[in-house]
Amino acid sequence: MRRLSLLLGLGLLTGCAGGHPGKYVVFFTENSTQLDTPAQTVITQAAQRAVASHANVRVEGYAAASHDLSADELLAIDRAKVVARQLVVDGVDTSRIRQQPRGPMNNESGALASRRVEIEVGGH
């Protein structure tokens, strides 16, 4: 339960915190592409910003490197697609979204970092 609380809190905080005001981070549970409520909230915030500023959006999906690198790469791609679809549902024009899966990351510091999708509003 404590781990879930940490994930939920990080999901909300990283969506609006940090050095780049147009950067949002969505976290997933291990081996999942399901959006939970905090993830949807972060995506909605990013979409609102993109719609209001008519900005382009870059969506980067990540996954951890494990024993099956092709499955990990597909997971990163699927996570980016899920986030991009939700951005469209939230009003962002499809032509403004660029997906960029990053695939397996074996140099990530921690499992949480490798289970994310980064959304950059205003990204080229």
Residue 117: helix, strand or coil by DSSP? strand
The structure's pTM equals 0.78
Give the architecture (CATH level 2) of 21-103+111-119.
Answer: 2-Layer Sandwich (3.30)
User: What are the pLDDT digits (tens) for 52-100?
Assistant: 999 999 999 988 777 666 777 888 899 999 999 999 999 999 999 999 8
Q: HEC profile for 39-71? A: HHHHHHHHHHHHHHHCCCEEEEEEEECCCCHHH
